[in-house]
Amino acid sequence: MDPLTTPHERAASERARLGVAAAVALALLSVAPYLNALTAGFTFDDGAIVRDNPRLAAPEKVGEVFTTHYFGGPLATGKNYRPVVLLTYAVQRWTTGNEPFPFHLVNLLLHGATTLLFAAWLLALGMPRAPSVAAAALFAVVPIHAEAVTGIVGRAELLVALLVFLSALLFLRATDGPRLRRIAYTGAVGAFFVALFTKEHAVVLPGVVLLGELLRRGTDEPLAARLRRKVLPAAGLLAPLAAFVAVRALFVGSGLVAKGSAFFELDNPLVLLPAPLRAVNGLWLLLRYAAKTLVPLGLSADHSAHALPLATTLAAPHAVAGLLGAAALAALAALSVRRLPLVALGLGLFLGAFFPTSNVPFPIGTVFAERLAYLPSAGLLAAVAGGVAALPRTSAGFRRALLAVALVTYAATTVERNEVFRSDETLFADLLVKVPRSARARYNAAYLAWGRGETVVARSNLEKAIALFPRHYDAWALLGLVAAKEGRFDEARAAARESLRIKPDFEIGWRTLAKVEEEAGRPDAAEEALGAGLKRFPRSLPLLRRRAALLLARGRAAESAEAWRTAIAVSGGAREDRLGLERALRAAPR
């Protein structure tokens, strides 16, 4: 105990400790609703980013994690640079293999740790104990978190939230007292640095730290004096931020988004709107996030084009509701600063943590995603818990009963929601029920049907997807494969070419066109399509492998062997490529 602290501050420090009993209860509460998630498989993007990602296959390929963007490919062509979260997947691939259970287990442990750090942060700021612990308990079980916790690729959200609360806590530890605690301060700066390279929205950390200091309770030191004393340590948090912007500018081409990249309007229809209209829609979507957090009805893993009603004019009801709702939340936060600091802190965290992903300042890669609510929801739940605790004429027993009902209801709904993420089949079936007008949901259903050989079902869903969103180049390419399977080669060729007309740099579109031409008995045209694709993507493994196999089928074994050697150089010696080379060499004349 610091001898310079006052009795009041020492008492506040005692109250600020979470305690073993509360920590154990919160840990169990955060784990229990997700136990059935441990037996789920890889779903949606889990396959491409984790299970099938060649960059994560072996330690000798780890350099590619830092030299490619999140989805793969050269850094300058990407929007997202997240090497830390990819590295966590890679380490698990190397140590525990490619089974989904260990990945789900790590996600669950991260969620439990985040819940504890959230509670500890609120208490360290001197917030009232009962509503602070209640807020963390609600955070542990709300169903909107299922996409982040049960979906393996939601790990970036978990890590960022954990590291933001950890950094904020360590900053408090480092700067509370007459001298800076260097170890804690180094931990705060280091946690922020790691968070930034986990996912971009970790940039909110300095704002979280400032918000906490402005609303701090349980200290005798005047606010102005405390801010003056902490301004230099706070300025040190800008160092990781500067490093993050510099690395992105150097490798990705911009501090925020690569100059040559573009967001697909299927994923985010807001990108086509003027900035003011995009902003008011973003504000309306903030209200939708709040509603889905507190009343988890109609939760869905897809909110792409046509799945959400959007305002098309500034006078539209959703636009007006967005403006008025955001203004009301900001006003409530300002009015609560003195008497209800937990409400003010919570609303500030909710609005501030959502700002980078809200589509208000700039468009992002998605219009709405429930996983993005993970960190901001902590603020909303703190505000709700603080507000309920301040309700007049309510006893502590009534508030505890209300909390118990909420926890049981949310936990049961979370258990049910986890089952949706059990497999692609269950997830995509849920999408068709929740968002039948989503082009992406229709495409996903078609993709599964195609894999099962159900061409009629696949065609029906693809035609609906294209009708909903005519520029869906993935749907056009898959329709080409379906038509070729049905023997309608002219239609197949037209569909493949349409996918390339929409997106000329569509790697899979070139492979699809080559496959269609090959199945139509036009090997020259197939080879021409592969050559055109390889001019755009000279290191494309799908195109290199397709060309090598085609050359061997045409009796040009020596050329095929050379093509397989190129594929081996690109893949780092994948078994598929070595076997292809072996076949070509056996067929080649001496």
pLDDT tens digits, 44-55: 899 989 998 888
- State the pLDDT at residue 525: 95
Confidence check: pLDDT of 7 > 60: no
Give the pLDDT band of residue 307 (cuts 50, 70, 90): confident
Tokens of 401: 């009963």
133 or 589, higher pLDDT: 133
Strand partners, 74: 68
Closest to 147 measured CA to CA, from 429, 414, 350: 414
- State the pLDDT at residue 258: 42
Where b means 16+ CB within 10 Å and e means fewer, 550-571 reads: bbbeeebbebbbebbbbbbebb
Confidence check: pLDDT of 574 > 50: yes
Confidence check: pLDDT of 205 > 90: yes
Q: Which amino acid is at 291?
A: A
CATH, range 436-533? 1.25.40.10
Confidence check: pLDDT of 4 > 50: no
Confidence check: pLDDT of 5 > 70: no
Give the pLDDT band of residue 75 (cuts 50, 70, 90): low
573 or 561, higher pLDDT: 561
pLDDT tens profile 221-261 = 899 999 999 999 999 999 999 999 888 877 766 555 444 44
- State the pLDDT at residue 414: 98
Tokens of 523: 């090997």
Residue the block writes with tokens 């340590």: 233
- State the pLDDT at residue 73: 67
Segment 483-500 shows an average pLDDT of 95
Segment 325-341 shows an average pLDDT of 95
- State the pLDDT at residue 378: 98
Segment 72-101 shows an average pLDDT of 86
Confidence check: pLDDT of 1 > 80: no
- State the pLDDT at residue 13: 56
Closest to 427 measured CA to CA, from 85, 157, 135, 153: 153
Tell me the domain boundaries of the chain: 20-264+370-419, 436-533, 539-590
Segment 57-79 shows an average pLDDT of 79
pLDDT over 70 percentage in the chain: 94
Give the pLDDT band of residue 529 (cuts 50, 70, 90): very high
77 or 99, higher pLDDT: 99
Question: What DSSP letter does each residue of 84-153 carry, written as one string?
Answer: HHHHHHHHHHHHH-S-HHHHHHHHHHHHHHHHHHHHHHHHHTT--HHHHHHHHHHHHH-GGGHHHHTSGG
**CB-based contact 93:55 (threshold 8 Å):** no
Where b means 16+ CB within 10 Å and e means fewer, 506-534 reads: bbbbbbbbbbbbbebebeebbbebbeebb
- State the pLDDT at residue 250: 77
Task: Give the CA angle between residues 261, 193, 237 to the nearest 5°.
Answer: 110
- State the pLDDT at residue 89: 96
Segment 14-40 shows an average pLDDT of 92
- State the pLDDT at residue 248: 81
- State the pLDDT at residue 187: 97
Least confident residue range of 166-170, 348-352, 361-365, 376-380: 361-365
74 contact partners, CB below 8 Å, separation of at least 6: 68
Give the pLDDT band of residue 338 (cuts 50, 70, 90): very high
Average pLDDT, the chain: 91
pLDDT tens profile 146-180 = 999 999 999 999 999 999 999 999 999 999 988 99
Where b means 16+ CB within 10 Å and e means fewer, 323-344 reads: eebbeebeeebeebeeebbbbb
Segment 357-375 shows an average pLDDT of 93
- State the pLDDT at residue 78: 65
- State the pLDDT at residue 257: 47
303 contact partners, CB below 8 Å, separation of at least 6: 366, 367, 368, 369, 435, 438
pLDDT tens profile 263-301 = 678 889 998 899 999 999 999 999 999 999 999 999 999
- State the pLDDT at residue 393: 84
Distance CA 315, CA 64 (A): 48
- State the pLDDT at residue 177: 85
Segment 78-92 shows an average pLDDT of 90
464 or 571, higher pLDDT: 464
Distance CA 434, CA 133 (A): 33
Tokens of 223: 């606010």
